[in-house]
Structure 1
Amino acid sequence: MTAILDLDPFALDVLADPHPHDARLRDAGPVVYLPAHGIYAIARHAEVHAALRNWQGFQSGAGVGLANFRKEAPRRPLSVVVEADPPYHDAPRRVLSALLGPRAQRRLREGWTVQARELVDRVVSGGDGSVVEFDAVGALAEAFPLRVFPDALGIPDEGRENLLPFSDFLLNAFGPRNELVAAGAPRARALSDWVGEHSVREALADDGFGAQIWAAADRGEITHGQAPHVVRSLFAAGVNTTVHALAAALHALAAHPGQWRRLRADPGLVRVAFDEAVRWASPVQTFFRTTTGDVRVGDAVVPDGSKVMLFLGAANRDPRRWSDPDMFDVHRNPSGHVGFGFGIHQCVGQHIARLEAECLLGALLERVESMELAGPARRRLNNTLMAWDSVPVRAVLTR
């Protein structure tokens, strides 16, 4: 029998502090019905992991948000990568996987390392020579991805300030039409139009990822009709989630100064620390799937055509999977977390995000001996993301 829970996962107080509610969901059972929105919820790690793997039973093509596109017409263009199932999903995914793979990472590493050091030098130069305070979100977590990834994508400097609001609104729109969606609605059309105008071949630099996607269309790997939508997918996901993952890592390390000291003692743990931050904070909190038939989860059956909300953040703190899951620990092995998803829809750019984190955190380790929060951090509420709007940091510089 399916448990029923009186919980609105999109209530503002829940979005601001989801962890107590995540625990209620996990404790209620392997699958829970939420009458507030007429949806099912899965929050335990084993069941979330299984649902992400089972694309045949839990489809993405009916939308990864609350709206059920098996029962209503889409109000927006669907992502050809995130909201498509095989066979339609396969060709765009192959193109992006090749484009963002190890060869690209090797090519980008040297330049991104230099740019990260230059950015960190500018940020810490504002102190008195030994101590500096700055907002880790604006100064680092936003500034670095908004510089390096659009450069790699091949879009001009002008207009890059549209990237975060565009993807923030898109991820807000995966939820209900609440006040968060209403707040972004006045700019939504203009932002979407800007992205569309910069997804065409003529708007992209000849040597960037965008041009390479169009070249793949010329080779017949995807259609020319698909090409602008594949480019658009990088506008939507290539910056936003990386920004919030970096902000999560910087907040975690500033809130746990002892963990920063452990990381300085062993800088080789940078990538592990970043993944642990993604597990611990889960910037992407939830995604939806739709059942393609009656699907058994535990002892319950989720009916055909049901919207199922997968709580990635809750799964990443499931004590059935993790020891001391609420503790941030750079010495933990966080492999198996679902912060980047899992299965055929696992985040195709996750290794690029890890490279950005390695470059930025590595540069910060070189210049900062210790750091801590300099004041209260402030959340940025979003129907899908767990994000920070501001993380004030006080850093003691190396001598």
Structure 2
Amino acid sequence: MATSVSQPPEHIRLAELWRDPYPAYRYLREHDPVAWVPEAGRYLVTRFEDIMHVERHPETYLSSENPSLMTRSIGETLLRQDGAAHRRLRRAAEGPLRPRIVKEHWLPVFRRHAEDILATVAERGEGDLFRDVAGPFAARNLAALLGLRGVGDTEMQEWSQAIIDAGGNYGEDPEIWARCARAVSDLDTAMDDVLPVLRRAPDHSVISSMLHADDPLTEDEIRTNVRVFLGGGLNEPRDSMAAAAYALLTHDDQRRDVEADPALWKRVFEEAVRWVSPIGMYPRRVAERTELAGRVLEPGDKLGVVVASGNRDERIFARPDAFDIHRTDTSHVAFGGGPHFCLGTWVSRAGVGQIGLPLLFRKLSGLRLTETEIPFGGWVFRGPLRLPAAWDV
């Protein structure tokens, strides 16, 4: 049964959300903005203003949820902590991800990675931009940021996807749990090698920052939080880069505008993450009896905060389903908000918006898609599944 704009929430199927969630989101925004969706096992919050309300009241809408798919798959991370416990974990990790450090230290690293990857693919004349460029670029950048050594692009991507799939395993697929367990084991082995090295010789990496914080994290805390960084920290920049490239390759007029004015690359990135929110939903738990958009919620009720829907809310954005770098309504919630505002925001903006995308279009002259229908997938996490293209040699 296909999800349509007239379907009530009890008929919404996760498989249809994975294929194309936007018709269902449109219906929910209009008719039931805090809707109980049985297959998801939670209320989906779909309007922009309601999402902002949840973010502004973290004392009412908690991040901690136990058991949750995330804690079941990778353990207790900062994403499922609140208050002082969350602040402690976040402070320990955030130093290397601050704007000044990103600009001074990481931008040259990202540029080197992009140039190396693009030099390798340029001579081929064709390839999959998702598999051959966006994925390796995100993987290589993240390995450096975290401080992992001797871990290849393929391993990083496989581990990340296994963790991502487990975090969205609302269908309880046992193979997804098994793949995640293998990924966690392999990542722990890599951590065994790097932890003693970084303990002796600190560097600019996130693992080093957590080891040498004013209130250092334990090794178990570091391991679990590296797992969560490996998930979203690879998925989001990979999918935002691929989605933005797809958008420009299918909007010739906006591509010409950007190529004529490089200052517009920032707008390309921000509009892409609004248009296709790579992290499309995250959970919250109700702490006290409250009301949201006319729905009475009780303590313990589970929410799905659907930022992918909020970013296409007709009440906020004109022509919300259109990709438009010239729109004046530029606010979005792709990186969340409040205490849990995405730690990797500045890294993604710099790595993808300032380095990856401009170099992709500059180095691969005559870049063009070789298929007219590009598949996208996901609702908890969403992006292109492939991006076949050709360029001049």
TM score, norm. by length of structure 1: 0.86
Kindly, what percent of the aligned residue pairs are identical? 25
Give how far 1:192 is off.
0.8
Q: Secondary structure at the match of 2:274?
A: helix
Which residue of structure 2 aligns with residue 113 of structure 1? 111
Give me the whole-angstrom Cα distance separating, in 1, the residues matched to 2:123 and 2:324. 30
**Letter of the 1:227 counterpart:** I
Q: Which moved more, 1:335-344 or 1:223-232?
A: 223-232
Match of 2:234 among 239, 242, 253: 239
Match of 1:364 among 360, 367, 380: 360
Q: Tell me, yes or no, if the aligned pair for 1:31 and 1:41 is still in contact at 8 Å.
A: yes
Give how far 1:380 is off.
6.2
Structure 1 residues 66, 8: CA separation in 2 closer, same or farther (over 3 Å shift)? farther
Give me the whole-angstrom Cα distance separating, in 2, the residues matched to 1:381 and 1:338. 20
Q: Which moved more, 1:109-118 or 1:336-345?
A: 109-118
Structure 1 residues 35, 158: CA separation in 2 closer, same or farther (over 3 Å shift)? closer
- Alignment of 1:374 with 2:377, yes or no, is no
Q: Tell me, yes or no, if the aligned pair for 1:66 and 1:288 is still in contact at 8 Å.
A: no
**Letter of the 2:371 counterpart:** G
Structure 1 residues 111, 170: CA separation in 2 closer, same or farther (over 3 Å shift)? closer
Match of 2:385 among 365, 382, 389: 389
RMSD: 2.7
**Letter of the 1:25 counterpart:** L
Q: Tell me, yes or no, if the aligned pair for 1:63 and 1:288 is still in contact at 8 Å.
A: no
Which residue of structure 2 aligns with residue 85 of structure 1? 82
**CA deviation profile, 1:24-59 (whole Å, cap 9, x unmatched):** 111113322223444211101111121122211111
Which residue of structure 2 aligns with residue 161 of structure 1? 154
Give me the whole-angstrom Cα distance separating, in 2, the residues matched to 1:391 and 1:63. 37
- Alignment of 1:209 with 2:201, yes or no, is no
Structure 1 residues 49, 126: CA separation in 2 closer, same or farther (over 3 Å shift)? same
**Letter of the 1:22 counterpart:** Y
Which residue of structure 2 aligns with residue 184 of structure 1? 176
**Letter of the 1:60 counterpart:** S
Structure 1 residues 146, 37: CA separation in 2 closer, same or farther (over 3 Å shift)? closer
Name stretches of at least 5 consecutive residues in structure 2 with no aligned partner: 1-6
Structure 1 residues 17, 109: CA separation in 2 closer, same or farther (over 3 Å shift)? same
Which residue of structure 2 aligns with residue 7 of structure 1? 11
Q: Tell me, yes or no, if the aligned pair for 1:317 and 1:325 is still in contact at 8 Å.
A: yes
Name stretches of at least 5 consecutive residues in structure 1 with no aligned partner: 68-73, 128-132
Q: Tell me, yes or no, if the aligned pair for 2:280 and 2:306 is still in contact at 8 Å.
A: yes
Match of 1:171 among 164, 167, 171: 164
Give me the whole-angstrom Cα distance separating, in 2, the residues matched to 1:279 and 1:175. 20
Give how far 1:243 is off.
1.1
Q: Tell me, yes or no, if the aligned pair for 1:296 and 1:302 is still in contact at 8 Å.
A: yes
Give me the whole-angstrom Cα distance separating, in 1, the residues matched to 2:180 and 2:226. 18
Which residue of structure 2 aligns with residue 35 of structure 1? 38
**CA deviation profile, 1:206-263 (whole Å, cap 9, x unmatched):** 535144234424x435455533333333223322221112111112122222221111
Give how far 1:367 is off.
3.1
Give me the whole-angstrom Cα distance separating, in 2, the residues matched to 1:323 and 1:199. 47
Give me the whole-angstrom Cα distance separating, in 2, the residues matched to 1:383 and 1:343. 22
Give how far 1:78 is off.
3.5
- Alignment of 1:17 with 2:20, yes or no, is yes
Which residue of structure 1 aligns with residue 3 of structure 2? none
**Letter of the 1:117 counterpart:** E
Structure 1 residues 281, 138: CA separation in 2 closer, same or farther (over 3 Å shift)? same
Give me the whole-angstrom Cα distance separating, in 2, the residues matched to 1:387 and 1:222. 33
**Letter of the 1:53 counterpart:** R
Match of 1:329 among 299, 324, 331: 324
**Letter of the 2:342 counterpart:** C
Q: Tell me, yes or no, if the aligned pair for 1:294 and 1:304 is still in contact at 8 Å.
A: yes
**Letter of the 2:180 counterpart:** A
Which residue of structure 2 aligns with residue 71 of structure 1? none
Q: Which moved more, 1:257-266 or 1:319-328?
A: 257-266
**CA deviation profile, 1:248-279 (whole Å, cap 9, x unmatched):** 11121222222211110111111221111000
Give me the whole-angstrom Cα distance separating, in 2, the residues matched to 1:65 and 1:328. 34
Match of 1:58 among 61, 65, 84: 61
Which residue of structure 2 aligns with residue 282 of structure 1? 277
- Alignment of 1:340 with 2:332, yes or no, is no
TM score, norm. by length of structure 2: 0.87
Q: Secondary structure at the match of 1:88?
A: helix
Give me the whole-angstrom Cα distance separating, in 2, the residues matched to 1:333 and 1:195. 43
Q: Which moved more, 1:144-153 or 1:370-379?
A: 370-379
Q: Tell me, yes or no, if the aligned pair for 1:247 and 1:388 is still in contact at 8 Å.
A: yes
Which residue of structure 2 aligns with residue 70 of structure 1? none
Structure 1 residues 221, 176: CA separation in 2 closer, same or farther (over 3 Å shift)? closer
Give how far 1:334 is off.
5.9
Q: Tell me, yes or no, if the aligned pair for 2:94 and 2:206 is still in contact at 8 Å.
A: no
Give how far 1:337 is off.
0.8
- Structure having the larger proportion of residues in strand: 1
- Structure having the larger proportion of residues in helix: 2
Match of 2:291 among 269, 291, 296: 296
Give me the whole-angstrom Cα distance separating, in 2, the residues matched to 1:278 and 1:174. 20
Give me the whole-angstrom Cα distance separating, in 1, the residues matched to 2:373 and 2:133. 15
Match of 1:147 among 136, 140, 144: 140
